[in-house]
Amino acid sequence: MKRKFVIFVVIIPLIFIYCAKPSEPSILNKIMSIDHLIPTGGYACDVSVSDSLLFIAEDQNGFSIYNYLIHYQVCHLDTLFDTTPVPFENIRKITAVDEKNLLFIYDRYGSPAGIKVFDITDRANPDYIFLMGGDTGNVYQIKSYAADEEVYFCWSNGNELHYGSFDIVWHPLPVYEFQNSISGFDTNEDYFVVAAEQMGFHIVDKSSGEIKSTMDTPGEALDVKIVDNYVVIACREAGFAIYNITDKEAPELVIEKEVGELIYTVDVENDYLVLSSHAGGVYLYDISKISNPVFLDNMENDDIGYTYEAVLKNGKIFASTRQGIYIIKFD
């Protein structure tokens, strides 16, 4: 008797699974691309952007001024020329009021360390004019702006926020002190919003120094941007969050979004929000409806390297990285 052998062919479908973090956004259409790279001799730790110029803090390589419209380096300084030439050591922060010809840099370990002020009327030859040497250890953020013909300058370090005006000399206003450490901040004419790390954020009345409210955040608050009656908070491990601060004494959470990377800085221009993540690159969102941010695109670490900050200006993103400043365009 013959035996019949029946061969069963079992077809096992190959299932390809894309493994991503549940909170990681999905890119439908790539709209970001690198427009230009401005290489720097040191890490580009910080950048201040005007309508035509970049002011770049290059850590151990000093600072530079660069015209990004014509791609031309206006100047580069790695040494402070005062009575005796002294090399800059670690320029970590920079901010400029271009229209008032003033530039502020933070040299963390310089000789002397502190915040140095330059007259940049002659862009190619900045003139050193002033040193702020007190309370300048471990400065987290510096900002400057013009209002009512005055130039205002502020910085955060430790648990203090310093604020005042500058016209050749420094005119300090009362120091704002907090119980715990603070990080980034933003301001308008009436109040400060201060990122207070594990405490969340504070809203502080400028005139009285009174803390109007303290709001816990879903993660560690590191940076903040005021947008009309809202604030956007960089919440490190928790992505970012948006709050309605119409009532300064009772902010309301509008939305929180996880990104899948640690978020350190935020910036907003018109309907766009940009986030920087040291190891995760740059994230772009549409916030035309601020209660519903829409993820648009991500420029990854593989493309631009370790990223310290991302700034929106005139419809472009300026990312300060260890390679230099990437100018990123988006459609």
Secondary structure letter of residue 3 according to DSSP: P
- CATH number for position 25: 2.130.10.10
Q: Is residue 304 part of a domain?
A: yes
Tell me if 149 is assigned to some domain: no
* 113 part of a folded domain: no
Asked whether residue 166 is domain-assigned, the answer is no
DSSP of 306-331: SEEEEEEETTEEEEEESSEEEEEEE-
How far is Cα 167 from Cα 129, in angstroms, rounded to an integer? Answer: 11
**Terminal Cα distance for the chain, rounded:** 76
pLDDT at 21 over 90: no
**Mean pLDDT (the chain, rounded):** 91
Domain membership flag for residue 35: no
pLDDT in tens, 221-248: 999 999 999 999 999 999 999 999 999 9
pLDDT of residue 20: 41
In the 8-state DSSP scheme, what is residue 83? S
Q: What is the pLDDT of residue 133?
A: 86
Tens-place pLDDT, residues 160-209: 999 999 998 899 998 999 999 999 999 999 999 999 999 999 999 999 99
From the centroid of its chain, how far is CA 200? 18
Has residue 172 been placed in a domain? no
pLDDT tens profile 262-308:
999 999 999 999 999 999 999 999 999 999 999 999 999 999 999 99
Euclidean distance between CA atoms 89 and 313, whole angstroms? 29
Contact of 186 with 224, CB cutoff 8 Å: yes
DSSP 214-275: EE--SS-B-EEEEETTEEEEE-BTT-EEEEE-SSTTS-EEEEEE--SS-B-EEEEETTEEEE
Q: By residue range, what is the domain housing residue 314?
A: 1-30+198-331
pLDDT at 10: 36
The answer to whether position 137 is within a domain reads: no
pTM of the model: 0.90
Q: How far apart are CA 319 and CA 275, in angstroms?
A: 10
Q: How far apart are CA 297 and CA 282, in angstroms?
A: 8
The DSSP code for 130 is E
Q: Is residue 18 situated within a structural domain? A: yes
How many domains does the chain contain in total? 1
